Amino acid sequence: MVRKITRRGKLAKKPGKIRHQSGGRTAANPMDTSLHTTLLALLTERAEAMTVAEITAALHLVPHQLPLLQKTLLQLVDAHRIEKKGKRFALAAPAQSLRATLDLTAKGFGFAVIEGEAKGGKDVFIAPHNLGGASHGDAILVSVTGTARGRREGRVTEVLRRAVTRFCGIFSTSGAGGYVTPDDDRLPYTVLIRRGDEMGARDGMAVVAEITDYGSERQGPTGEILELLGDARTVKVQIRMAIIQSGLRETFPAVVLTAAAQLTPVTECTEDRKDLRHLAHVTIDGETARDFDDAICVERTGAGFTLYVSIADVGYYVIPDSPIDQEAYQRGTSVYLPDRVLPMLPERLSNDLCSLVPDQDRPAMTAILYFDHQGARIDQRYCKSLIRSRKRFTYTTVNQLVYLKDPLVSAAHADLIPMLELAKELTALLKAQRRKRGSLEFNLPEPIIALEEDRIASITLAERNQAHLLIEDCMLAANEAVAETLAKARRPVLYRIHQYPDLTKLDTFTDAAKALGLHLPQSEVNPAWFAQVISQAKDTSTEYIVNNLLLRTMQQARYSPENSGHFGLAADFYLHFTSPIRRYPDLVAHRVLHALLLGASAETQRLPFPEEGKNLVEAGVYLSQCERKAIDIERNIHVRCAALFLMDRIGETFGAIISGVTAFGLFVVLDDCYISGSVPLTTMTDDFYLHDSRRYRLIGERSNRMYQLGDRITVQLDNVDLQSKRLTFSLSTELPNEPLEQNGGKA
């Protein structure tokens, strides 16, 4: 479909009448109020619906009162007090109220996520005038008032619980004290701060405020300032604002820290713990990692290979229902930010007792996996163990050792090279096995934000070398083996499931892929189909776009006690086992596997999470939400830091790729840094542009100039809005400035 969607410059608005209205209609006068009461009383008495003529006769109205009657009837319909059935009116039946959570958008409307409804259905649309004073995240009662375009519509009848009482924002002074504008654009209000409650905040300062009175629809909320954060244009303040907005826990309760301090380290083998200290275990992590929860060792056998994947025995220290366990469950996962880590476990555990540091005895849970010469798993065993890591390797070092064959690095680690070479040989076979069954290998680089004191030194893309893939292959093998073992033993556990892609989104991707010139496989859409598409785009200029679009078709992976397989990995059995220091579902798997080793029955096994009355289904939902929250804050901080990084570079030009095409303009991603922004159509004043929605492109009506998804262009930075975290660009014919990572940025 091709539509003309812009004209030169800004769109002109037609002059029109201005009317002061409330709720979309003229406010009722005193006569309306009397007629309201009379009408409702009449319709309450009548069992059948009535026409306007019947109502006129029953109320003995004269002709000049008919306009008032019509207006009053419409007002009562809008207020859901009566309902119109064809040409007849009747008293509205009491609407059933449903418990829900409000998901409010930045545009002012929202969606009510109904409790107990299955995922994948359409939530109830709530128009701005039907919010009833509710805000983002609130627990509400909602009544369904109708349907439109296949989606239920409703209105909020009651706010049960406020999600936001404490928030961060920007303070603005006024004569009566001031106002705080929330940092989250989904909170559609400003909060009045009366004089004496502003704690000395200055104009433009970032603050933490608390709402003391939510007010009404006519009068906004009132609050007080709790904490002064400082200059919003600094990295430290922006990260703190993101943490507060997400509701993440910044510190551990004293009872948890005390319990962790009292733990005694494991230094000797017991009857139920196998001594594996003779094996050449090593850890392989990033340069900045501080918690090492997995170590590997590979041996050659007559049948093929033996892979030892030894994972920190967190379950030994974290007892179900203990203060440490309860806090870990509440957090669900560790969160990694540019300037700090918000760990799931206290540092005494995460960086000390449970961390597989070199040259120290550490308790572990070890998966011993046996593979043939083709990389097929032929057997597996598990045990509690005591290991001693020989070396804390980084990805860079291992890449230099076994893939780049750096002689200087090799000389320093000659004793461990044979084991690493075996690991390289085995993981190549494991990868081939996964590719054969159709496992997907997305290539979406992650941005890395480097800080120098309180400034952003650079935003670059994380490097993924062969060593990353080596350790990843080992962890995948262990996760699959444990999942299959527990499934066949019928042990309740949290699987990591990934379902078939969304069919509607798949159709959208198909159109986009054709626009990019891809030749889609003429076969069943399964993991192998996706793998072929990814392979076709590999090392091309559109690789990023194709991977990103494909990922959007996928449903989110989640935790569930019902094993439905993992589509992305083309695996029948999969769970998370290898990172119990930073993920609670991994700790669940450890406890269930340990119970299996002990021969404990599933019926007598204690629940692997602390909240009384909860079950694995609810735990899976909650822990999936914790993971999503961690991903969201990482993205939130990236866009904040991107805005800070580019604040002083207005007017500069950058190379970019078009990542989206809409009727309102282009979306772009800057080269080498994964920073996103938009090119509004209003800035493209050189021509009239037509939007070809099927081919994802804009076409100049006179020049026939084309801007299409996947095209590489040069853009100029026009505006940085730190409040909304939006970057606005315009098209440029100049050459890009020097790469971002070389120029640095100021905060």
Task: Give pLDDT tens digits for 607-666.
Answer: 566 665 568 898 999 999 999 999 999 999 999 999 999 999 999 999 999 999 999 999
Same domain as 348, residue 302 = yes
* Spatial separation of the C-alpha atoms in residues 436 and 275, rounded to whole Å: 36
What pLDDT score was predicted for residue 471? 97
Same domain as 196, residue 285 = no
Same domain as 376, residue 480 = yes
- 638 occurs within a structural domain: no
Res. 736: pLDDT tops 80: no
- 49 occurs within a structural domain: yes
Number of neighbouring beta carbons within 10 Å of residue 739: 15
Task: Give pLDDT tens digits for 654-702.
Answer: 999 999 999 999 999 998 888 999 999 999 999 999 999 888 999 999 9
For residue 487, the enclosing domain spans 255-498+562-633
Same domain as 207, residue 289 = no
- 192 occurs within a structural domain: yes
Which among 218, 380, 258, 241 has a CA at the least distance from the CA of 307?
Answer: 380
- 724 occurs within a structural domain: yes
What pLDDT score was predicted for residue 18? 29
Domain boundary among 534, 554, 574: 554
* Spatial separation of the C-alpha atoms in residues 9 and 439, rounded to whole Å: 49
Strands (E), 175-275: 177-182, 191-194, 205-213, 222-231, 273-275
Same domain as 335, residue 453 = yes
- Which helix (H) or strand (E) segment holds residue 699: the answer is strand 697-700
Cβ-Cβ contacts under 8 Å for 735 (sequence gap 6 or more): 653, 714
- 23 occurs within a structural domain: no
Residue 578: pLDDT band with limits 50, 70, 90: very high
What pLDDT score was predicted for residue 129? 84
Same domain as 332, residue 435 = yes
Domain boundary among 140, 161, 182: 161
Query: Helix, strand or coil for residue 379?
Result: strand
Same domain as 103, residue 126 = yes
Res. 30: pLDDT tops 50: no
- 579 occurs within a structural domain: yes
* Spatial separation of the C-alpha atoms in residues 500 and 486, rounded to whole Å: 23
Same domain as 653, residue 717 = yes
* CA atoms within 13 Å, Cβ hemisphere of 320: 14
CA dihedral 227, 228, 233, 239 (to 10 degrees): -30
Same domain as 415, residue 364 = yes
CA of 622: how far to CAs of 248, 368, 618, 627, in Å? 14, 31, 6, 9
Same domain as 350, residue 211 = no
Res. 145: pLDDT tops 90: no
Same domain as 412, residue 490 = yes
Extract the tokens encoding 495: 């699987």
- 5 occurs within a structural domain: no
* Spatial separation of the C-alpha atoms in residues 160 and 98, rounded to whole Å: 11
**Do 737 and 672 contact (CB within 8 A), yes or no?**
no
Same domain as 625, residue 545 = no
* Spatial separation of the C-alpha atoms in residues 604 and 595, rounded to whole Å: 10
Number of domains in the chain: 6
- 25 occurs within a structural domain: no
Which CATH number does the domain housing residue 106 bear?
A: 2.40.50.140
Domain boundary among 138, 161, 184: 161
